[in-house]
Structure 1
Amino acid sequence: MSWSEVAELLGQGLQETAWMVGVSALLTAVGGLLLGILLVLTARGGLLSAPVVNSVLGLIVNIGRSLPFIILLVAVIPFTRAVVGTTIGTTAAIVPLTIGAIPFYARIVESALREVPGDVIAAAVAMGATRRQIVGKVLLREARPGLLAGLTITVIALVGYSAMAGVVGGGGLGDIAIRYGYQRFETEVMVATVVVLVVFVQLIQTLGDLAVRRLAHR
Structure 2
Amino acid sequence: MSVFRGSNSSTAWPEGADPYPDGPTERLGPEPDRSSAPPSSPPQPRRGAVFAVLLAMLALLAAAAAVLLAWRALERADQAFARPLPAASGASPAVAGAYGEEILRIQAGCTGVTFLDLDEPRVNAAGPVSDLRYDSRCGDEAPQLTLAPGAVGGSDVGAADVDGPGCARAVRTSPLGGGLIVPVRTGLVMCVLTGTGTPPTAGVRLVRVKVDQVSADGTVSLRATAWPAG
TM-score grouping bracket, smaller chain normalisation: under 0.3
Larger radius of gyration: 2
Q: Which of structures 1 and 2 has the larger relative contact order (alpha carbons within 8 angstroms, sep 6+)?
A: 1
> Structure 2 length normalisation: TM-score?
0.23
